[in-house]
Amino acid sequence: MREETTPLRTADGRLSEPALPQGRGELSYGVVRALTGPPGTPLPEDEAAGGADPYGDDLQLALYLCYELHYRGFSGVDPLWEWDPGLLRLRGVMERRFLAALRADAGPPRKAEEALEEILVEPLTGTGPSHFLKDVGELWHLREYAAQRSLYHLKEADPHAWVIPRLWGRAKAAMVAVEFDEFGAGRADRVHARLFADLMADLGLDTTYGRYVDAAVAEMLSSVNMMSMFGLHRALRGALVGHFAAVEVTSSPGSRRMAQALQRVGAGAAAVHFYAEHVEADAVHEQIVRRDVIGGLLEQEPWLEEEVAFGVDATGWGDARLGERLLSAWRGGQSSLRTPL
C-alpha cells in the first residue's frame, strides 16, 4: 500500500512553512531580501512596481510573496510582515497595475448572466490543456500540469473563503455550503487540497506546500494572484463571486477529461480520484453558485452586476493565457516549467 503523505508537515507531524522562492527581477529580489529581515526593512521603491510588466514574472512573483503572507507565510519570515505598512503600500501599487491590466483585457462591462451563458456550453472543438492531455498527453505532461497547478490546489478554496463575511443571507449560506464540500464536509481526508496532494504523490511529485513556486510560470502566478487579490479586498467581492462561479461552471467537463487523461497514462487511483470527485461535485456546485450565491448577492447588491461579470471574464482570459503558455511549450516538445522536473 502506498504510504500516506501529508503536505505542510515535518517528520514529527508539525506544520511547516515553505521556503522563500528565488527572485525574478529587481522588484521580487527586493521583496525577498526585505522579508529575510525584520519588518520595516527597506523595500523596493514604488517606481519599481509602477513600471513593471503587470503580467510579468517580476511583478507577479512579488505580488505572490505579499499574498502568501496571508496564507502559510514563509520559513524564517517574521509573521508581522503580513501587516507591515510599507509592504502593504508597495502591494497596493502592484495591485493597481495588475487590476487595471485585467480590466482592460477582460473585455467591456456586461451583465453577469451574459458572461455565464457564454461559458455554460463548451465549443464542439476544444483546444485547452485538458483536451490536449486527454487526447495525446503523456505522463510527463500531466506531472508538469500538476506541479504548476499545485500553487492553487494545495490551498484550494482558501482564497474564496475570504468572501464569506462579506456576504449575507442566501448568498452567504450557499457559499458556505459549497466551501463545506471543498473542505471535506468535516472529513480531513476529503479536503480537496488533501486529495490533490494524494494526486501529486501518485505522480511522484513532492507534496510540500510551495515546492514548485520557483518552477511555475508567470501565467500560473497571475492565476493564483487574481483570486487572492479579489478575496482580500471587500471592494472586489463581486469579482471574487464571479471568479468562483467561472471555476465551478467550467470544472466538471474539464475534470472529466483530466480523469480520462490520467487513466490513459496509467496513473494511480488517487490521481484519478481527485478529478473524478470534481466531475460530480462541481456539477452540483455550479447550480448552487449561479442560483443562490450570485442570485442572492445581486438581489441584495444589484450594483455589483458588472463586477460579477468582470470576475467571470477575467478568469476566462487568465486561464486562456495559461493554457496558451503550456500548450506552446508542449507542442514544441519542451517543458512548460521554468525548471523542468
217 neighbors 337 (Cβ within 8 angstroms)? yes
Q: Does one domain contain both 186 and 307?
A: yes
Q: Is the pTM of this model over 0.85?
A: yes
DSSP conformation class of 340: -
Write phi, then psi, for 55 (nearest 5 degrees): -110, 5
CA 197 – CA 209 distance, rounded (Å): 9
Statement: residue 10 has pLDDT above 90: no
**How sure is the predictor about 326, in pLDDT bands with cuts at 50, 70 and 90?**
very high
Domain end (from 59, 83, 104): 104
Q: Does one domain contain both 178 and 214?
A: yes
Q: Does one domain contain both 62 and 134?
A: no
DSSP conformation class of 7: T
Neighbours of 1 (CB within 10 A): 3
Q: 86: burial class by Cβ within 10 Å (0-12, 13-18, 19+)?
A: middle
Residue 140 in domain: yes
DSSP conformation class of 290: I
Q: Does one domain contain both 233 and 219?
A: yes
Instruction: Look up the CATH number of the domain holding residue 241.
Output: 1.20.910.10
Position 12 scores a pLDDT of: 46
For the ranges 1-10, 46-55, 202-211, 232-241, the lowest mean pLDDT is seen at 1-10
Domain end (from 52, 86, 104): 104
Residue 14 in domain: no
Residue 171 in domain: yes
Give the distance from CA 14 to its chain's centroid: 25
Q: Does one domain contain both 89 and 125?
A: no
Statement: residue 34 has pLDDT above 70: yes
Q: Does one domain contain both 50 and 147?
A: no
Ranges assigned E (strand) in 203-252 = none
Q: Does one domain contain both 180 and 87?
A: no
Q: Does one domain contain both 118 and 67?
A: no
Q: Does one domain contain both 296 and 195?
A: yes
Q: Does one domain contain both 95 and 134?
A: no
CA 182 – CA 247 distance, rounded (Å): 13
CA 305 – CA 111 distance, rounded (Å): 6
Residue 13 in domain: no
Residue 1 in domain: no
For the ranges 123-132, 207-216, 222-231, the lowest mean pLDDT is seen at 123-132
Residue 203 in domain: yes
Give the distance from CA 82 to its chain's centroid: 20
Domain span holding position 325: 110-331
Q: In terms of Cα–Cα distance, which of 37, 259, 5 is closest to 137?
A: 259
In whole numbers, what is the pLDDT of the chain averaged over residues? 93
DSSP conformation class of 294: I
Position 4 scores a pLDDT of: 40
Average pLDDT over residues 182-207: 96
Average pLDDT over residues 210-239: 98
Q: Does one domain contain both 88 and 140?
A: no
Residue 11 in domain: no
Q: 277: burial class by Cβ within 10 Å (0-12, 13-18, 19+)?
A: middle
pLDDT in tens, 133-172: 999 999 999 999 999 999 999 999 999 999 999 999 999 9
Residue 301 in domain: yes
Burial 202-231 (b: 16+ CB within 10 A, else e): bbebebbbbbbbebbbbbbbbbbbbbbbbb
Statement: residue 5 has pLDDT above 50: no
Ranges assigned E (strand) in 53-158 = none
Q: Does one domain contain both 238 and 320?
A: yes
C-alpha distances (whole Å) from 74 to each of 18, 71, 79, 335 are 5, 9, 9, 27
Domain end (from 61, 88, 104): 104
Q: How many domains does the chain have?
A: 2
